[in-house]
Structure 1
Amino acid sequence: MKEFFPFDPDTLSIESKRAKELGASLAADYQSKTPYHYTSVDNFLPEEVITRVREEALQMGDKPAENMSANENLKTSFNPDRMPKYSKAVFHALNSRPFIQFLEQMSGIKGLIPDPYYGGGGIHRTNTTGYLDIHADFDHHQIMNLERRLNVLIYLNPDWKEEYGGSFEIWTDDMSEKVDSFVPIMNRMCCFSTGANTMHGNPEPVNHPDGEPRLSIALYYYTATWEEGRVAQSTVFKQRPGSNDARSHEATLRVVREFVPPIVYRKTRNLLGRLRRR
């Protein structure tokens, strides 16, 4: 099946005019979604591109999980700067002007800025029994002093089925309803606007029958709209109703962050993160 996005698998160049047109074609649907704006596109990149990136991601092997807590289990990431040459070039292309213009046309957000540091982004790998509870993301790029506005996820999992876990879920802020869910199938792109209450995650543990990890490309985009004096938000987790998801420590962390030195906040956050699900 023909890919959606005009991306040359050999030169990794993007046809700028066509990219903008495709972004505009998604704008009405994207910007009409609630409780926040999002979309999903299948067969997004050429098959050759997505296959090579998957192969190189698997070549990186495994490594100790990061940010292990009751809310996040057996997930790790690889910075694109440490990836093999082809994958690194793909990430650079997805941070280029034509791709930014595609995102701006689709989202209606002007002045998007890619992250050259890939903070939190790159290749994400979640192993068997791994999950990421429903959450709203951190909202401030400290190094560049920017506001986080968009997430792009492109999945790298051939023949993945819903029963294998790891589906990407979108929830209302009050956690009363799961609004949408996307199985992380090969070459599916999900994009969504980020904010203080954009609750999302992949809380169902990965359970591939052959032990395959859940792999994805993750990229974040920002704008120069961060206001002086605004208090940054760290990742905020919330429980799904009727689940055994970890209890949220959102209120505690917000109080600690506002009134104590940064080192005390970090220690408190780490302590709460080590608590088991109960």
Structure 2
Amino acid sequence: MSKASRSGTFQVSYEAIVSPSVRQSEGSHARAFAEAQPFRHVVIDDFLESAFADELLREFPAFENGNYIGDDGRPGGKSTVDAMPQLGPAYRRLDEVIQTPEFLAYIGRITGIEGLLYDPFYLGGGTHENRNGQPLSAHIDFNYHPSERWHRRLNLIVYLNREWQADWGGLLELYRDPYADPQPSVRVTPLFNRCVIFETTESSWHGFDPIRLPADRPDLSRKSIALYFYTKDRPAEETAARHTTHYVNRQLPEHFSAGHTLTESDVATLRELISVRDSHMKNLYEENGRLLQAQDKGFAGHILYLMKRLYVRYRRRISASR
């Protein structure tokens, strides 16, 4: 099957972008997904055709061209772009392929989830770039599409980092329960053309540890493409009331115990954790104050506040993973 695009005529079938070796291993990937802990997931190396992955990296947007403004209104260490089809021919091709019934059925066979739906708005998804020092706290994702009555079911992340070492941080971390156990069960290095697919549930806790790049490599950053998929229904026992992304702040490192002498690095860690918690509490107090003030202004003011709140949450704070 082929289709004309603004970049020419090309094959739209997922077979044109997913590498042959990956397609031939569909059964083993399905088994790995079904058996994985702490929740269903699979890690697939060399996921895309190598030339296509190269094109995606070449067209990856500059940090300053994305949304890099934090919750506090100031520039932050993360930049996202959700208008992927506008980034170039490779991203238009990716967009056209992932919405085809063939690609959705292929991902459905790996995950055992039928009736998958593509999100044309890439809400929370798209390209993600994180700079040195940036972490992503453990969290579960928002569980319904913001504008549709769709259940969020899967995250698919493709990493585009030609150079990455495990000791640089930024590793995808999967948790059983970060409240009960702050240590991740699985850690995945974000290597080039590595794909991670995981189920989105009320217990699919994930994040990544702070990025710690070498001092002589300030040019590096953590790059990925995040795709989210939905279904119109899901099993009743897995269904929960609508909620936004639920974060858990990082806990103290295990070596912080009685008798331990703090190092400069330890002090920096403490200051960072306290700063994050202070910022979180400040945001909650300010949000509560805005809600009370909106209530004082009557029903119309309350509706306006809620609309602004949804905009901020879905355009800046909701980011899934990766």
Q: Look up the match of 1:116.
A: 120
- Match status 1:39 vs 2:42: yes
Contact 1:22 1:102 in 2 (8 A): no
Contact 1:134 1:199 in 2 (8 A): yes
1:67 Cα deviation (Å)? 4.0
Instruction: Compute the RMSD of aligned alpha carbons.
Output: 3.5
The unaligned stretches of length 5 or more in structure 2 are 1-9, 254-272, 289-294, 296-301, 318-322
1:65 Cα deviation (Å)? 1.2
Aligned with residue 232 of structure 2, among 224, 235, 244: 224
* Partner-residue secondary structure (3-state), 1:65: strand
Q: 1:124 to 1:26 in 2, by over 3 A?
A: same
Partners of 2:307 and 2:148 lie apart in 1 by: 22
1:2-151 aligned at under 5 Å gives the runs 11-15=11-15, 22-58=25-61, 62-68=65-71, 74-78=77-81, 79-151=83-155
1:263-278 aligned at under 5 Å gives the runs 263=305
Contact 1:73 1:129 in 2 (8 A): no
Partners of 2:309 and 2:102 lie apart in 1 by: 41
Deviations 1:212-241 (A, max 9, x none): 1211111000010278x9631111111333
Q: Look up the match of 1:185.
A: 191
Q: Look up the match of 2:245.
A: 235
Partners of 1:54 and 1:61 lie apart in 2 by: 16
1:59 Cα deviation (Å)? 5.3
Deviations 1:240-276 (A, max 9, x none): 3325384477xx89xx8xxx966369769979x99xx
* Partner-residue secondary structure (3-state), 1:101: helix
- Match status 1:163 vs 2:167: yes
* Partner-residue secondary structure (3-state), 2:102: helix
Q: Look up the match of 2:220.
A: 212
Partners of 1:182 and 1:101 lie apart in 2 by: 26
Contact 2:61 2:87 in 1 (8 A): no
1:151 Cα deviation (Å)? 0.1
Contact 1:206 1:214 in 2 (8 A): no
Partners of 1:234 and 1:67 lie apart in 2 by: 17
1:86 Cα deviation (Å)? 2.0
Contact 1:127 1:206 in 2 (8 A): no
1:83 Cα deviation (Å)? 1.0
Partners of 1:266 and 1:231 lie apart in 2 by: 21
Contact 1:80 1:91 in 2 (8 A): yes
Contact 1:65 1:73 in 2 (8 A): yes
Q: 1:84 to 1:175 in 2, by over 3 A?
A: farther
Partners of 2:208 and 2:29 lie apart in 1 by: 24
1:15 Cα deviation (Å)? 3.4
Compare CA radii of gyration and give the structure with the larger one. 2
